[in-house]
A and B are shown apart, each in its own frame.
Chain A
Amino acid sequence: MTATSAPAQVATPAPPVTTRKPRPNYWLSLIAIVVSFVVFVVPFLFTLLTAMKNRQDAAELTFTWPRQFQFVQNFLDVLQARDYLLIIAYINSTILTVGSVAILVVLSAMVAYVLQRRTSRWNGFVNFLVLAGLIMPPAVVPTIWVLQKLGLFRTMPGLILVEVAFGLSFCVLLFRAFISSIPRELDEAAVIDGAGPVRLFFRVIFPLLRSVVITVILTQSVFVFNDFVNPLYFLPGDENATVQLTIYNFYSQFTTQYNLLFMDILLITIPPLILYIFFNRQIVAGMTSGAVKG
């Protein structure tokens, strides 16, 4: 790591550069830790504590230790609310996330592969479309109109395809950057061995994309799972609500039951938290590298 805040020194005759390692700045560290705790951790602790309180205790909205723990009771209450809506929503969200991410990975890897390998007059146009997909906000009502004409409005397959369409650009950029690091000699060797395009891609190239595939799966899962706008527009209705919609509806209905509201918030925060604990490095790599390339 670079010592960016090395203390100002009078020009000494250049010391052996490799051994310089300034003492950590303990005061600054302490301040940083305290501030980050107050600003970033307290809101999550508040969620956790409120989720464990009983109804009256939670209604006071205070940042205190629960007078009486009823974590399990709240958990069951949230699950049972409105005929187990949350469980249905979890199933819906899982189908949505798995379905759209699976399609996204395969299709955008195929696009990125041809885009990176084959130079032709199409490249400029495809690149333009990729950037347009990143920048342009989707046209909402016309998309609904198209989905209605196709008979896909208010259906899960329709929403999955919408998520795919809106997520393609980001994934193509991630894949393209990675594919450029795979030597072309490999393709040539495979072609000489008699592999056709499909075999070449799925048997030779795709297995080599493992690390970037993991990154794409993680970042897109988080995006799709947390997506609120697209389900709101394209899959309205309680019977196929996703978890983000249930929490929003809970808020409108249970404004007096903050313990249940925060239990719900806690439950939809846990999946990204688990992913982050296990795949910290890949998620960060995906978010920042995709961003830098864009």
Chain B
Amino acid sequence: MATTTIKQQRTGRRAAATAGTGQRKHSPYPYWFYAPAAVIYAVLFLVPTLLAFYFSLTRWSIFSSKFIGFGNYVTFFKEPALVSGLWHTLIYAVLTSGAKVVLGMLLAVLLTSQIVARGWLRSVVFFPTLVSTIGVGLTFTVLMNPEKGLINKALEVIGIQGPGWLTNPSLALFSVALVDIWKGVGLATLIYIAGIVSIPHEYFEAAKVDGAGAWDNFRRIILPLARPATVTVIILSLIGGLRSFDLIWAMTRGGPGFTSDVIASVIYKQYQAGFYGLSTAGNVVLFLVVTAIILPLSRFLNRKEVDL
């Protein structure tokens, strides 16, 4: 209370003193604090993003660019290898995101329940999030080696002929997705744990009095009340999945053939081949895909409030 009156007095005095000379300049929160960040952000993020829309309409080499209309997009959508990249991106993103939601939720319930070594388990599940994606990718490339890899050796012991995880064209994308889930499930789990821990005790106590079992607790309390965590996990892992590049590049380089190519790896391949216009068109396609999926989805998910 005291401070507010002081503030009023002060601003009153200041207003009287500086009336007419532009009091705005004296705000303790000047706009120029935005300036350095804004310059970097604008020059290296906004401008390139806007330029991308123009350059995607050009035939562009190192030296010159020539306007060719929608030629790059026509090429992009006519070339089966490139179109399949679009589908792979969607499959990869939905698959990894869905698995992270389900597994993250289950692990979080497990890791907030009465089991021993909870701290150790949490650390172990989370640690892969912090490790270099390239390192993880190369390690699993070796572990997934069809003849000598540890995974197939282990399967052999229990009498299963392991597949060529990364060499089988119809399997490669899913194998990479599996490693992505392995690496990313820890973050999803921790977000869910934060959500579950913040649920007030009273709900569980009331449910216990009513004779609710573990399943009822999960179905009627945790699932609806951990909804904000679910929204976060879905949005975050979808964004990550749609943009995913390094893991795929480390493990398969989009191969065998083009069977695990995603948009981000197509962008890199076209860039390396010197087709800058086509590469940028791929980038614009990626913008549009990400925006078209994330914006409506986040609006839809955030709108529905839980009532309990």
| A residues whose Cβ falls under 8 Å from a Cβ of B | 1-11, 14, 17, 20-26, 28-29, 32-33, 36-37, 39-43, 46-47, 50, 60-63, 107-108, 110-111, 113-114, 117-118, 122, 126, 129, 133-143, 145-147, 150, 161-162, 164-166, 168, 172, 185, 187-192, 197, 200-201, 222, 225-226, 228-229, 232-233, 244, 247-248, 251, 258, 261-262, 265, 268-269, 272-273, 275-276, 280, 283-284, 287-289, 291-292, 294
Interface core residue of B37, B235, B236, B246 (most chain A CB under 10 Å): B37
Q: Which of A28, A192, A292 contacts B229 (CB 8 A)?
A: A292
CB distance from B142 to the nearest CB of A (A): 6
A43 near B139: Cβ-Cβ < 8 Å: yes
B250 to chain A, nearest CB (A): 7
Q: Could you say which residues of chain A place their CB within 8 Å of the CB of B135?
A: 47, 247, 265, 268-269
Contact B49 A226 (CB under 8 A): no
Q: Is chain B's interface secondary structure helix, strand, loop, or mixed overall?
A: helix
Are B271's CB and A140's CB within 8 A?
yes
- On whether the beta carbons of B131 and A139 are closer than 8 Å, the reply is no
Pairwise interchain contact A137-B264, C-beta atoms closer than 8 A = yes
Given contacts A1-B112, A141-B280, A142-B49, whether A288 and B194 have CB atoms under 8 Å apart is yes
Q: Closest 5 A-B residue pairs measured CB to CB?
A: A8-B213, A139-B52, A5-B113, A142-B48, A165-B44
Asked whether A294 lies within 8 Å of B236 as measured between CB atoms, the reply is yes
Let me know if A142 and B138 touch, CB within 8 A: no
Cα of A189 to Cα of B226 in the assembled complex, Å: 40
User: How far apart are the CA atoms of A258 and B194 in the complex, in Å?
Assistant: 40
- CB distance B134 to A244 under 8 Å? yes
Q: Mark B191-204, 1 if CB is under 8 A from A, else 0.
A: 10010110101001
Residue from B110, B182, B239, B267 with most neighbouring chain A CB atoms (10 Å) = B110
A145-B51 contact in complex given A192-B6, A283-B130, C-beta closer than 8 Å: yes
The residue that B245 contacts in the complex, of A188, A229, A258, with Cβ under 8 A, is: A229
A89 and B273 alpha carbons, distance in the complex (Å): 26
What is the CA–CA distance of A62 and B48 in the complex, to the nearest angstrom?
A: 47
Closest to B217 in A: A4
Question: With an 8 A cutoff between CB atoms, is B287 at the interface?
Answer: yes
- Chain B residue contacts of A42, Cβ below 8 A: 150
Q: Is the interface of A mostly helix, strand, loop or mixed?
A: helix
Residues of A within 8 A of B60 (CB): 141
CA–CA, A22 and B41, complex, Å: 53
The reply on B90 being an interface residue by CB < 8 A is no
- Looking at the complex, which one of A11, A146, A185, A247 makes contact with B134 (CB distance below 8 Å)? A247
CA distance A26 to B113 in the complex (A): 12
Asked if B187 and A287 make an inter-chain contact with CB atoms under 8 angstroms apart, the answer reads yes
The reply to whether A47 and B134 contact each other, CB–CB distance below 8 Å, is no
Residue B116 CB within 8 A of the other chain: yes
Q: Report the minimum CB–CB distance from B74 to chain A (whole Å).
A: 19
Name the one of A21, A111, A190 contacting B37, with C-beta atoms under 8 angstroms: A111
Q: Does B301 contact A (CB under 8 A)?
A: no
Q: Which residues of B contact A (CB under 8 A)?
A: 3, 6-7, 10, 27-31, 33-34, 36-38, 40-41, 43-49, 51-52, 55, 60, 109-110, 112-117, 120-121, 123-136, 138-140, 142-143, 145, 148-150, 153, 182, 187, 190-191, 194, 196-197, 199, 201, 204-205, 208-214, 217-218, 222, 228-229, 232, 235-236, 239, 242-243, 245-246, 249-250, 264, 267-268, 271, 276, 279-280, 283-284, 286-287, 290-291, 294
| B33 contact set on A, CB distance < 8 A | 110-111, 113-114, 197, 201
CB neighbours of A21 from chain B (8 A): 114
Contacts of A294 in B (CB 8 A): 232, 235-236
Inter-subunit contact A122/B31 (CB<8 Å): yes
Which residues from A are CB-within-8-Å of B267? 140
The 21 sampled A-B contact pairs (Cβ below 8 Å) are A4-B217, A6-B208, A7-B214, A10-B211, A28-B113, A33-B121, A36-B121, A110-B36, A117-B28, A134-B239, A137-B287, A137-B290, A141-B283, A145-B51, A172-B37, A185-B3, A188-B10, A197-B30, A197-B33, A287-B190, A291-B236
Chain A residues contacting B52 (CB-CB under 8 Å) are 139, 141-142
Q: Is the CB of B142 within 8 A of A142?
A: no
Report the minimum CB–CB distance from B112 to chain A (whole Å).
Answer: 5
Partner of B132, one of A6, A110, A139, A269: A269
